[in-house]
C-alpha cells in the first residue's frame, strides 16, 4: 500500500481499539459524566483511607495516575460537543458537563487526605530506597507539586476559601468560553462599501435586502480587512469585531480579580508567579523582562515599517479621494505593501491552494517526514457531522497491531455554533495500561477553511496553509507520543514550550519544494510557479516587526493584568477596555480609532488556559527557530531528521524536562541566534527592517 494513499481501505492488521461513538444524547452526556465523577471520587476515597504506613507508589501514585486518565478519557469526548455540535441541547449538556467536571476537579485537587497519602507514600519510597524509573520519579514530583500549588499546605480555613474561589473562577471562564463559541454577530455593507474585496468572497456572503451580511468569522472578516478599499469599511468592521463580545468584559474582569485573590491566599506575589512556577520561564518577572527586551528590539523596526505603510496609505487616499487621517490598520496596508513592492496578489495566490489539494498533500508530507501512514478504517466509523473525516494512523511499515498509533478526526469547514478558529483537541490520552497494553490516542483538528462558492472551489489563503500545517503539528505531537502515564502524553508539556514543535513545522510552508507539492491551480492544475514562490518567500518577513509587536501586545496585556497589584486595595488598571486600546496603540503601533472597543472580550486565550501564558507564543519561537535551523534547514524532508524529531521531541511528551528533550534533539543547549536572526536581520524583510 502506498504511503500517501489516503483513500483505500486499510488491510490487516486491524486497529487494536474500539472507535469512539458519536451518538450521545444530552441525557447520556449528563449520566456518563455523573458516573465518571462518582468512580473517580470512590478511587480517591480508597486512597485516602489507606493506613499511612501502607501507602506505596503502586497503591497511591499509580492509582491516581490511572484514575486521572480514566476520567479524562471518559469525559473528554463528551465536553468536546460544545465546540462542534449543531444541536443546542448537546452543546448545552457538554458545557454543563464541563462546569461539573471543573468543579469536581477543584474538589479533587483540594483533598488534604489524598495529599497526606501522597506524602506518606513518598516518605515510604524514600525510606525503602525504592528505585523508580525516570518517568515514575517525574510522576511523584508533579503530583506533590500539584498539592502544594493547590494550597494543601495551607490552614483549613484558607484551603476552603481557595476551593470556593477556584470553583467561581472555573464557572466564570466556562461562561466566557461559551459566549466566545456561540458568538453570532454580523455587520452589513453595500456592494460599494465592499469594493476591493474579491468577488468570490462577496458571493459567499449572505444578503439582507440590498446589503451583504458579513460575520466576524475569519473567512468573512479577513478579506474585508485585507482588501476593502474604503477605509471606513475597514474601520467599521474592525471596531465591530473588537466589540462583538462586550458581554464577556465583566466576566474577564471578574476572572482577573478572582485570580488575584487566589494568588494572595496561596502566598504568591502575583497570579503570574503562580502560573509560571511550573513553566520553563519560572517567574512573572522573567516574563515581563523577556517581553520588555523584545519590545525594545522590535519597536524601532515596527516604527520604520509603519512609516512605509503610511506612505502607501497616503498615496492610495490621494488616488481614491479619501481624506488622509494618518491612522494605521495593519491588515490592509500590509497587504498593499506586498502587492506594491512584490507584485504579489493574495487573492491570486490562493487560486493555487484548493482545499481538496492542500489537505491531502500536507498529510502526505507529514507521512513522509515522520514515517507514518493514514488509512481509512475498514469498518464504518461515526462522526459528529457529515463534513468530518476520520483516519487511522499507523507506522509506515506496519506489520502488526503494535504498529497502530491512533485515530485522527479532521473537522475543517465553518458552520453555525462551531468553534470559530483553528485548534486541536486531544480527545483521548495515550498511556501504558496496567495490563501492559497501550491506550491509543485520539486527536481532532478543528478549523474553519473557506467553503466552495458558485464560481470557485474552496480555496485557502497561504496564511491558512501555514495554520493548517501548524495545527497538524499538534495532532502528531499527540499521536506519536509514547508515555507511561497519560498526564505526560503528547502536548502535556510546559505551556511555554507546547507551541514550539508546531511553530517549527510552519517553516515547511516557506520551502520551494513543499510549496510546489501542496499547490495546484484550481483551473490549470499547475503548481505555484517559481517566480511566485520566490515572491511569496520574500513576503514572509515583510513587516515582521509589526507582526511580532501585535503578538507582543497580546502577551503584554495578559502579563500586565496578571501582575497588576500595588499591595493595597487600589489597582493600577481601572478600566480594562481603555487599557486594551491604549496598550495596543503603544505596543503594536496600530490606532484604535475614534472609540474605545472592548477587544479583551474576544481574547479567548486568557480564559482558555493561556492566562499569564500568552508570552509563550513568542518565547517558544526561540526554540522553534533553533530546532529548524539546526536540524532541518539543510534538508527539510530528511527522513533521518524526521525520525530524530519524532524520537526526541514528540515521543517523550512531558515525561521528561523540556530542556532535556531540546538538548537531546539539538545536541547542545538551545540558543536564540536563529530567532534573533529571523526578526532582526533577514534579507527577506523590507528595507527598513533589513538595514536596522
Q: Hey, which residues are catalytic here?
A: 471
Q: At what angle do helices 26-48 and 112-127 cross, to 10 degrees?
A: 50
Query: How far lies 149's CA from each of 143, 155, 497, 685, in Å?
Result: 10, 14, 20, 44
Query: How far lies 611's CA from each of 89, 168, 285, 603, in Å?
Result: 29, 16, 15, 10
Sheet holding 186-189, edge to edge: 186-189, 211-215, 206-208
Q: For residue 206, give the C-alpha cell.
A: 449572505
What is the CA 417 to chain-centroid distance, rounded?
19
Query: Cell 500568552, residue?
Result: 614
Q: For residue 183, give the C-alpha cell.
A: 458568538
Q: For residue 10, give the C-alpha cell.
A: 486499510
Query: How far lies 47's CA from each of 44, 284, 646, in Å?
Result: 5, 35, 37
From the CB of residue 164, how many other CB atoms can be counted at a distance below 10 Å? 13
β-sheet bridge partners, residue 459: 354
d(C-alpha 577, C-alpha 600), whole Å:
7
Strand locations in 331-465 (E): 372-375, 389-395, 404-411, 423-428, 431-432, 438-439, 442-446
d(C-alpha 483, C-alpha 254), whole Å:
38
**Residue 66 neighbours by CB under 8 Å, 6+ apart:** 434
Q: For residue 103, give the C-alpha cell.
A: 468543579
Residue among 534, 585, 96 nearest 330 (CA): 585
Phi, psi (rounded to 5 degrees) for 550: -65, -45
Asked whether 301 and 692 are in contact (CB, 8 A), the reply is yes
Coil, strand, or helix at residue 379? coil
From the CB of residue 105, how many other CB atoms can be counted at a distance below 10 Å? 17
Pairing of strands 404-411, 442-446: parallel
Pairing of strands 442-446, 423-428: antiparallel
d(C-alpha 549, C-alpha 586), whole Å:
10
Tell me the CB-side half-sphere exposure of residue 98, using CA atoms within 13 A.
Answer: 23
d(C-alpha 271, C-alpha 561), whole Å:
9
Residue among 641, 495, 629, 485 nearest 558 (CA): 495
Asked whether 370 and 262 are in contact (CB, 8 A), the reply is no
Pairing of strands 372-375, 431-432: unpaired
Asked whether 585 and 593 are in contact (CB, 8 A), the reply is no
d(C-alpha 286, C-alpha 585), whole Å:
24
Query: Cell 515510604, residue?
Result: 124
From the CB of residue 656, how many other CB atoms can be counted at a distance below 10 Å? 17
From the CB of residue 344, how many other CB atoms can be counted at a distance below 10 Å? 20
Amino acid at each position: 500500500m502506498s504511503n500517501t494513499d489516503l483513500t483505500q481501505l486499510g488491510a490487516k492488521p486491524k486497529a487494536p481499539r474500539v472507535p469512539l461513538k458519536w451518538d450521545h444524547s444530552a441525557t447520556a452526556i449528563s449520566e456518563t459524566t455523573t458516573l465518571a465523577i462518582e468512580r473517580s471520587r470512590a478511587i480517591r476515597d480508597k486512597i485516602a483511607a489507606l493506613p499511612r504506613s501502607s501507602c506505596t507508589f503502586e497503591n497511591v501514585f499509580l492509582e491516581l495516575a490511572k484514575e486521572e486518565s480514566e476520567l479524562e478519557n471518559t469525559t473528554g469526548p463528551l465536553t468536546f460537543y460544545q465546540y462542534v455540535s449543531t444541536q443546542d441541547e448537546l452543546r448545552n449538556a457538554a458545557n454543563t458537563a464541563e462546569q461539573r467536571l471543573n468543579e469536581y476537579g477543584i474538589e479533587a485537587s483540594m483533598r488534604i487526605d489524598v495529599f497526606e497519602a501522597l506524602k506518606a507514600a513518598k516518605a515510604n519510597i524514600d525510606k525503602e530506597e525504592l528505585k523508580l524509573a525516570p518517568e515514575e520519579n517525574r510522576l511523584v514530583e508533579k503530583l506533590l507539586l500539584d498539592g502544594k500549588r493547590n494550597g494543601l499546605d495551607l490552614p483549613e480555613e484558607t484551603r476552603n476559601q481557595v476551593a470556593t474561589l477556584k470553583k467561581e473562577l472555573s464557572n466564570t471562564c466556562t461562561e466566557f468560553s461559551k459566549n466566545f463559541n456561540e458568538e453570532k454577530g454580523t455587520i452589513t455593507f453595500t456592494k460599494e462599501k465592499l469594493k476591493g474585496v474579491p468577488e468570490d468572497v462577496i458571493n459567499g456572503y449572505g444578503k439582507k435586502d440590498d446589503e451583504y451580511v458579513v460575520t466576524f468569522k475569519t473567512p468573512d472578516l479577513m478579506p474585508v480587512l485585507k482588501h476593502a478599499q474604503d477605509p471606513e469599511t475597514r474601520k467599521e468592521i474592525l471596531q465591530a469585531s473588537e466589540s462583538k463580545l462586550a458581554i464577556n468584559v465583566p466576566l474577564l474582569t471578574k476572572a482577573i480579580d478572582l485570580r488575584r485573590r487566589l494568588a494572595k491566599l496561596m502566598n504568591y506575589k502575583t497570579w503570574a508567579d503562580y502560573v509560571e512556577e511550573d513553566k520553563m520561564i519560572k517567574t512573572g518577572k522573567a516574563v515581563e523582562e523577556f517581553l520588555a527586551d523584545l519590545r525594545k528590539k522590535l519597536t524601532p523596526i515596527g516604527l520604520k515599517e509603519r512609516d512605509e505603510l503610511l506612505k502607501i496609505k497616503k498615496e492610495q487616499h490621494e488616488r481614491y479621494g479619501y481624506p488622509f487621517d494618518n491612522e494605521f490598520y495593519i491588515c490592509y496596508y500590509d497587504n498593499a505593501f506586498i502587492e506594491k513592492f512584490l507584485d504579489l496578489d493574495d487573492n491570486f495566490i490562493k487560486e493555487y491552494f484548493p482545499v481538496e489539494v492542500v489537505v491531502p498533500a500536507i498529510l502526505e508530507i507529514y507521512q513522509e517526514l515522520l514515517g507514518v501512514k493514514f488509512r481509512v478504517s475498514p469498518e464504518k466509523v461515526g462522526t459528529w457531522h457529515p463534513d468530518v473525516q476520520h483516519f487511522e494512523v499507523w507506522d509506515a511499515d506496519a506489520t502488526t497491531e503494535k504498529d497502530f498509533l491512533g485515530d485522527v478526526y479532521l473537522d475543517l469547514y465553518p458552520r453555525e455554533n462551531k468553534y470559530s478558529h483553528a485548534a486541536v483537541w486531544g480527545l483521548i490520552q495515550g498511556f501504558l495500561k496496567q495490563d501492559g497494553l497501550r491506550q491509543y490516542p485520539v486527536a481532532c483538528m478543528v478549523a474553519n477553511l473557506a467553503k466552495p462558492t458558485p464560481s470557485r472551489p474552496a480555496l485557502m489563503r497561504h496564511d491558512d496553509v501555514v495554520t493548517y500545517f501548524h495545527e497538524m503539528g499538534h495532532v502528531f505531537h499527540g499521536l506519536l507520543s509514547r508515555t507511561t502515564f497519560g498526564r505526560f502524553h503528547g502536548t502535556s508539556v510546559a505551556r511555554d514550550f507546547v507551541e514550539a514543535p508546531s511553530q517549527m513545522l510552519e517553516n515547511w510552508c516557506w520551502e520551494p519544494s513543499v510549496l510546489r507539492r501542496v499547490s495546484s491551480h484550481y483551473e490549470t492544475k499547475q503548481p505555484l510557479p517559481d517566480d511566485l514562490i520566490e515572491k511569496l518567500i520574500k513576503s514572509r518577513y515583510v513587516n515582521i516587526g509589526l507582526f511580532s509587536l501585535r503578538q507582543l501586545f497580546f502577551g503584554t496585556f495578559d502579563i500586565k493584568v496578571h501582575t497588576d497589584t500595588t499591595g493595597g486595595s487600589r489597582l493600577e488598571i481601572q478600566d480594562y477596555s481603555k487599557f486594551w486600546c491604549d496598550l495596543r496603540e503603544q505596543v503594536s503601533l496600530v490606532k484604535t480609532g475614534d472609540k474605545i472597543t472592548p477587544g479583551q472580550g474576544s481574547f479567548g486565550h486568557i480564559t482558555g488556559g493561556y492566562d499569564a501564558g500568552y508570552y509563550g507564543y513568542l518565547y517558544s519561537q526561540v526554540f522553534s527557530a533553533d530546532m529548524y535551523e539546526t536540524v532541518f534547514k539543510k534538508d527539510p524532508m530528511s527522513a533521518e531528521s524526521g525520525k530524530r524529531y519524532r524520537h526526541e521531541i514528540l515521543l517523550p511528551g512531558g515525561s521528561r524536562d523540556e530542556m532535556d528533550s531540546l538538548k537531546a534533539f539539538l545536541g547542545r543547549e538551545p540558543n536564540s541566534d536563529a530567532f534573533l536572526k529571523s526578526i532582526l536581520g533577514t534579507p527577506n524583510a523590507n528595507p527598513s527592517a533589513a538595514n536596522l
